[in-house]
Amino acid sequence: MSEEKFTDINGKPISLECRSHSSFCREFVVSAPKVSLRAVMVCTCAVWLSAYAAFFVTKNTAVLSSAIVTTLVGMMVHIHLIKIDHERLLIVGSLGVQVSSCFASGRESATFIEMSSIKDIVINEAIHMQRVIYYLCILLKEPSDPNGVSGVVPLFQSSKPRLNCLVKIYKSCQEILGQC
Amino acid sequence: MVLKIFFPQCCNRADSGLLVGRWVPGFDSVVVLAVIHYPFIPGQVKKYLSEMQSAIQLELTVLGSWSMPKDGQEGMDSFLKDLSTIFPQGRWLQLSRELGKRGFACDDEKEKVIFIHYDQRKVMLSHLHPAHGQEPAAEGVSELRLVFQTVAQSQPLFFLDKYDDGPIKLTHWQSEGREASILVELIKQASVPMCLVLTWLLSLWTQLRILNMWPVRFVSSKLSTCVQLSHRTEHLQTISSPRRAQQHADFMRKANIFVSFLVDIALGLLLISWLYRENRIGRLANTLVPVADHVAKELQELLQWLMGAPAGLKMNRALDQVLGRFFLYHIHLWISYIHLLSPFIEMILWYVGLSACLGLTFALSVVSDIVALLTFHIYCFYVYGARIYCLKIYGLSSLWRLFRGKKWNVLRQRVDSCSYDLDQLFIGTLLFTILLFLLPTTALYYLVFTLLRLGVVLLQGFIHLMIDIINSFPLFAGGLRLFRPYRLAEGVKFKVLCEEPGMSLHLMMEINPLKLSTAVQQYRIPTYSCYPKDSWAALCKKLFVGDLIYPWTPLHKGSKED
């Protein structure tokens, strides 16, 4: 079990934790930086100051209560649906690969891909806005054509680590895929 | 290769015994279904297994031995090894667990082993849906699907438990004794005769309908109440078939129809209990005739406005007067009919309101039909205006071609040049001029009545949308997803259980439920409504040319006048 610090494509710090449960089962956790207190305070103050200004103009208390409700609902929606805390990749040789993302509220959404439908795990290049980035992805087998690829599942989409981090994960995964 | 053992959670603390299950064909894995305890007679175990195999149609075998030694039980190892000679099979597993330690050990295997723990009851009850974009037929080779099928098909194995007096004592998810609910059993017993009664009643009803002649059938296809009635009859026929649903999709369809039917009736009864209190029906009837009068009066004022100089435009006086008086006479007739009916309206409404006890959808379709009947004159005006306008447009386009010296070739379906005689040209130009200068008047009448008709169509469309939502929303699937999410499975989730050094890998397999939106979309009940197939561009073109628009026609009628 080892934890290392890397940066993502935008320069923000992320951390990678590699855990080896057995010789054919490994887990990789890429964690994004947590919700910063400063950003929360800035947003809340901005919303409430504008609500006070609106109240000063209209003298209607509904503005203030709606600002409070908006802030609360917005924060809940953000931590439950938008902010991804860490992304996990669990690879179990001869069983399959599980990709899951955990949100800041603790909710975890996972997808499991069986080994019989995985062709390979590769590092691809993509054009993202004005730059070219690397990303790790799983190639799925096409049932009818043994050489074809039926789909591509990109991994670590919200943390977007850089190539050095991806290479580490790639080498580890290829060791396990090579065994079965 | 790595051996995967799917081990049920209920057997974690089972006493020592034999493991019974199935080797998954084509993959290096095995599903453990139950543990048979000592003491047993090997002959009886073999007989029981062969009975089960013919009942379940799966290859059940004795997989190996399970030992969880309690205090004072030593020396089982040699006994366990001897067992492997009694039960002939390909591979023999020897799993053991010690009290105080959390991990299992699989002796005698040189290769690696993964233990995957699963909740037997949940896996048995759940249905694994095919992944996105894959047809169910192509799914045969998935390992997880085979595991789910194995557990689901082994239901007869779980009938005997520890407390039965037979020679075999099993541990599985029901080994603490079978649970059942009295209500569920009573409903199951009562459902078969109820289904038979319902089928007989429905057969009577359908025989009655066959005797209907053409006029009744024509009218009943126009009224949305009759369409809804036939739709519900089909639903009832689906539910009341006495055969059990074999496929999961059929079962879900029956359950969805049943639940939404019950909810529909409940909402309808609620509506009745609200409507028939405090003489609301009487008040409704008393406002209906004045409303119809008011609408007619507004229409008359509108026509007077059109007959004058509407919005400053100058109309052709003669045509204006003719059309205006024609429509005014129609309104006068309509008002007379309404006044003729007015003493009976309250009674009609009272009896028609009772039809809401068949469901809220019926009440809504009755409302839609009442709206259609009350605005029948608007529909008639629209048809008259549209036909006159359409004739004019076609005449104009044909005479315009004549004006330019061309002709429409019906054989070749194209425009050809043609040399006309002088008198043909003269008459044609004269008619063209007349039609052209009369165009603004007819166009204005057409515009006004089309707008009125579109307003009524929008209102009826909204009511039909409500009916459609109530008809097609799968309440049973939604409720199942919310309260028993493991029954609709999209996939599985694995969690690594904390391991001790030197022990094999243990994983916990949980069911990943289907998303609510996917469940609702997949299990929607198909309905009869067809939304307008025209795109906006086609609709505008039809309006411009003057073709009649029919926003909806029942699907089973077939021909649409487009």
CA pair distance A95, B493, nearest whole angstrom: 12
What residues in B contact A93, CB-CB < 8 Å?
A: 2
Contact across the interface for A111 and B114, Cβ inside 8 Å: no
CA pair distance B320, B443, nearest whole angstrom: 11
Among B138, B134, B18, B7, which residue's Cα sits nearest to residue B67? B18
Q: How far is A97 from chain B (nearest CA, A)?
A: 9
CA pair distance B271, B113, nearest whole angstrom: 63
What residues in A contact B25, CB-CB < 8 Å?
A: none
Q: Which of B2, B491, B494 sits opposite A94 (nearest CB)?
A: B2
- Interface residues on B facing A, Cβ-Cβ cutoff 8 A: 1-2, 4, 28, 112, 114, 116, 138, 141-144, 491-494, 496, 499, 504-505, 507, 512
Return the pLDDT at B202.
85
Among A86, A80, A82, which residue's Cα sits nearest to residue A155? A86
Q: How far is B141 from chain A (nearest CA, A)?
A: 8
Provide the token pair at B123.
């896996």
With CA atoms as reference, the chain B residue closest to A180 would be B1
- Provide the 3-class DSSP secondary structure of residue B107: strand
With CA atoms as reference, the chain A residue closest to B2 would be A94
Give the Å distances, CA to CA, from B191 to A72, B241, B258, B263.
50, 11, 13, 19
Contact across the interface for B494 and A98, Cβ inside 8 Å: yes
What single-letter amino acid sits at B203? S
Q: Which of A93, A111, A114 sits opposite B2 (nearest CB)?
A: A93
- Provide the 3-class DSSP secondary structure of residue B31: strand
CA-based radius of gyration for chain B: 37
Partners of B96 in beta bridges: B67, B105
CA pair distance B403, B430, nearest whole angstrom: 10
What residues in A contact B114, CB-CB < 8 Å?
A: 25, 92, 95
Among B278, B535, B327, B349, which residue's Cα sits nearest to residue B449? B327
**Residue A20 touches partner B, C-beta closer than 8 Å:** no
Q: Which of B116, B141, B492 sits opposite A116 (nearest CB)?
A: B141
Provide the token pair at B382.
């629209």
With CA atoms as reference, the chain A residue closest to B503 would be A22
CA pair distance B176, B158, nearest whole angstrom: 11
Pick among A22, A108, A113, A115 to test the B interface (most B CBs inside 10 A) = A22
Q: What is the ipTM of this complex?
A: 0.86
How high is the mean pLDDT in each 10-residue block of chain B (562 residues)?
87 84 87 85 85 86 81 63 72 79 70 87 88 56 86 83 72 73 86 86 79 72 82 85 80 91 92 85 84 87 83 82 88 88 84 85 90 86 90 91 86 86 90 90 89 91 90 92 91 86 85 91 82 76 82 43 34
Return the pLDDT at A41.
93
Contact across the interface for B114 and A95, Cβ inside 8 Å: yes
With CA atoms as reference, the chain A residue closest to B140 would be A143
A46 near A108, Cβ under 8 Å? no
**Residue A112 touches partner B, C-beta closer than 8 Å:** yes
Contact across the interface for B505 and A94, Cβ inside 8 Å: no
B525 near B260, Cβ under 8 Å? yes
Spans of all domains in chain A: 2-33+87-179, 37-81
**Residue A33 touches partner B, C-beta closer than 8 Å:** no
What residues in A contact B498, CB-CB < 8 Å?
A: none
B383 near B561, Cβ under 8 Å? no
Inter-chain CB pairs, A–B, below 8 Å:
54
Q: How far is A132 from chain B (nearest CA, A)?
A: 30
Among B452, B266, B456, which residue's Cα sits nearest to residue B356? B266
Q: Which of A24, A112, A117 sits opposite B492 (nearest CB)?
A: A112
CA pair distance B552, B477, nearest whole angstrom: 29
- Tally helices (H) and strands (E) across chain A: 3, 9
Provide the token pair at B148.
């789910």
Q: How far is B221 from chain A (nearest CA, A)?
A: 47
DSSP per residue over B232-300, as a string? HHHHHHHHT-SSPP-SHHHHHHHHHHHHHHHHHHHHHHHHHHHHTSTTHHHHHHHHHHHHHHHHHHHHH
Contact across the interface for A110 and B28, Cβ inside 8 Å: no
Contact across the interface for B141 and A22, Cβ inside 8 Å: no
Contact across the interface for A112 and B491, Cβ inside 8 Å: yes
Return the pLDDT at B512.
92
Surface-to-core class of residue B180, CB atoms within 10 Å of its CB (0-12 exposed, 13-18 middle, 19+ buried): exposed
In angstroms, how far is CA B112 from the centroid of its own chain? 47
Pick among A89, A94, A152 to test the B interface (most B CBs inside 10 A) = A94
**Residue A100 touches partner B, C-beta closer than 8 Å:** yes
Return the pLDDT at B556.
38
pLDDT (tens digit, 9 = 90+) per residue, A104-160? Answer: 998 999 999 999 889 999 999 999 889 999 999 999 988 888 888 888 999 999 999
Contact across the interface for A25 and B505, Cβ inside 8 Å: yes
Average pLDDT, integer, range A19-43:
90
Among A165, A180, A14, which residue's Cα sits nearest to residue A97? A180
Contact across the interface for B494 and A23, Cβ inside 8 Å: no
pLDDT higher than threshold 90 for residue A173:
yes
Rounded to two decimals, the pTM is: 0.82
What residues in B contact A114, CB-CB < 8 Å?
A: 142-144
Q: Which of B114, B138, B491 sits opposite A92 (nearest CB)?
A: B114
CA pair distance A51, A29, nearest whole angstrom: 41
What residues in A contact B1, CB-CB < 8 Å?
A: 94, 180
Torsion on CA atoms B476, B480, B483, B487, rounded to nearest 10: 160
